[in-house]
């Protein structure tokens, strides 16, 4: 079993079925119970905000509610919420000079939980093992 940390963009694109093949495969394997997708609370929040407030995700019109997004990702979807703890925050603190607030929290969670890769299209994660294309 492979464990992945996922960012908000990937989850938002999952909701509208516009992931590139490699990222889509990660979500499909998680839906089947073969692999695990974990998301820090901050990235789940980003996905909810994006789906509710942007109007479009990857060119696809979206009209939804926060609860519907949470259901689609977590309750009925393949994402497991991985809340940040003190250890995440300590690692986050070592990253804030090099990353945005959200990116540092995501990388901290990934490192502390020991996931195999981060599913993201964000090029700021070049130092981490990532999956996208």
pLDDT computed for residue 127 by the predictor: 60
Domain hosting residue 92, numbered range: 3-120
Report if residue 127 sits inside a domain: no
Report if residue 28 sits inside a domain: yes
Report if residue 126 sits inside a domain: no
- CATH code of 62's domain: 3.40.50.1010
Contact indicator for 69, 48 with CB cutoff of 8 Å: yes
Report if residue 128 sits inside a domain: no
Query: What's the total number of domains in the chain?
Result: 1
Report if residue 25 sits inside a domain: yes
Report if residue 79 sits inside a domain: yes
18-73 confidence digits (pLDDT tens): 999 999 999 999 999 999 999 999 999 999 999 999 999 999 999 999 999 999 99
Question: What is the pTM (predicted TM-score) of this model?
Answer: 0.93
- Is the pLDDT at 124 greater than 90? The verdict is no
Report if residue 48 sits inside a domain: yes
Report if residue 14 sits inside a domain: yes
Give the residue from 69, 63, 68, 67 showing the smallest Cα distance to 12.
69
Angle at 120 between CA 41 and CA 2, to 5 degrees: 80
């Amino acid at each position: 079993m492979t464990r992945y940390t996922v960012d908000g963009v990937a989850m938002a694109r999952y909701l509208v079925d516009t992931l590139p093949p490699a990222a889509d495969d990660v979500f499909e394997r998680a839906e089947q119970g073969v692999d695990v997708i974990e998301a820090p609370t901050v990235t789940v929040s980003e996905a909810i905000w994006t789906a509710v407030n942007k109007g479009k995700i990857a060119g696809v019109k979206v009209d939804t509610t926060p609860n519907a997004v949470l259901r689609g990702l977590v309750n009925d979807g393949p994402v497991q919420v991985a809340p940040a703890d003190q250890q995440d925050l300590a690692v986050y603190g070592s990253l804030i000079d090099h990353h945005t607030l959200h990116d540092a929290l995501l990388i901290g969670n990934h490192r502390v939980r020991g996931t195999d890769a981060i599913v993201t299209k964000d090029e700021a994660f070049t130092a981490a093992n990532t999956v996208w294309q």
